[in-house]
A and B are shown apart, each in its own frame.
Chain A
Amino acid sequence: MSLLEAEDVLSVAANWRAAGEQVALATVTEAWGSSPRPAGSQMAVTKSGKMAGSVSGGCIEGAVAEAAMKTIDTGSPQLLDFGVTNERAWEVGLACGGKVKVFVEKLT
């Protein structure tokens, strides 16, 4: 059942935390248009650079991982907004033309 468990990002994150890693969890809270991953999709990131899951088709994972590092350092959650109306989106590039909100939190 290893593949099934790999889809369960929260469990992966919990295991990393239990092993002493510093972990942040990113969750899609809203998705509009043609964004490929629905609300509830998750990605876990560790301070040491591990990554599991996804919050898009790959276009914003880098930016989310960067934000996750900040949340790991500060302990403060962030609500990120990616979409064509957002300046940051031009930088990050949601090629699909979709819009997503991503909540980033630290596992304490």
Chain B
Amino acid sequence: MTPELLAAIEAAKRETRPVVLATMLPGGEQFLLPDPARPAALNEAAATALREDKSRTIKTGDGDVFLQVHNTPLRLIVVGAVHIAQALVPFAEQIGFAVTVVDPRRSFASDERFPNVTISSEWPDEALDALKPDARTAVVTLTHDPKLDDPALDRALKSNAFYIGSLGSRRTHAARLGRLRELGHDDASLARIKGPVGLDIEAVTAPEIALSIVAELVAVRRGASLSYMHKQAA
């Protein structure tokens, strides 16, 4: 790989612009996609690889071409700088999420409690408007406080976020769905919310609950069937 190509990939990463590195096999000629100067079929294959987030080798008239996906980072927006968030952030970072913690309450969202973590001190609706969750973003609300959770969930439901989770007991969650329904969200939309959040692994402590959330994030992202899990009827 040439220094120029490496620099171009790094630049795309900095600009959060998804690119595909194409390598002709076995010769090793390399170029980036999308590129209008390349055949349309190749650009389409690159777009598919990016959408599916899967690198692969494809057959073309010019031989095999390996498409290496360099996607924009997965993001996790955590609303509520609470104890579970402190446990959740490092787990999520470890599996590759760029994490932002949203909490307007300064005493919660302190640098001391969240060293080296991106923090937004705006109200959750404003924070989510600024962060613009997309199909590679997960949103988890942890505050238990309708004043903070509801506006975040409202914005998350209006986005393409691939995962929306909300901490709270079944009763809390039912009440929450009632309030969101009043904001105009229909049942199909509300069904996107994972609540109670996380896989049912009988988690008790904050790190255990964080683990159950991260496990559910992975399961949703990878399309796991979870048929062996006895997730209690939600």
Interface residues of A (CB under 8 A from B): 1, 3-4, 7, 10-11, 14, 17, 25, 27, 29-30, 38-40, 77-79, 101, 103, 105-108
Contacts and interface: CB of A to CB of B under 8 A. Distances in A.
14 contacts: A1-B93, A1-B116, A17-B6, A25-B1, A29-B23, A30-B56, A38-B54, A40-B55, A79-B25, A105-B23, A107-B3, A107-B6, A108-B2, A108-B3
B2 A39 contact: no
Contacts of B96: 4, 7
A107 B1 contact: yes
Contact of B1 (A1, A3, A101, A105): A105
The 5 closest A-B pairs by CB, nearest first: A40-B55, A77-B28, A79-B26, A29-B66, A39-B55
A40 B54 contact: yes
Contacts of B98: 4
A14 B7 CA distance: 9
From DSSP, what is the main secondary structure of chain B's interface residues?
mixed
A17 B94 CA distance: 25
B42 interface: no
A12 to B, nearest CB: 12
A103 B25 contact: yes
Contacts of A107: 1, 3, 6
Nearest to A29: B66
Most buried by A among B1, B25, B56, B94: B1
Contact of A14 (B10, B28, B54): B10
A29 B25 CA distance: 9
Contacts of B3: 17, 107-108
Given A14-B6, A27-B66, A105 B28 contact: yes
A39 B26 contact: no
A4 B1 contact: no
Contact of B57 (A25, A39, A106): A39
A10 B28 CA distance: 17
Interface in B50-103: 54-57, 64, 66, 68-69, 93-94, 96, 98
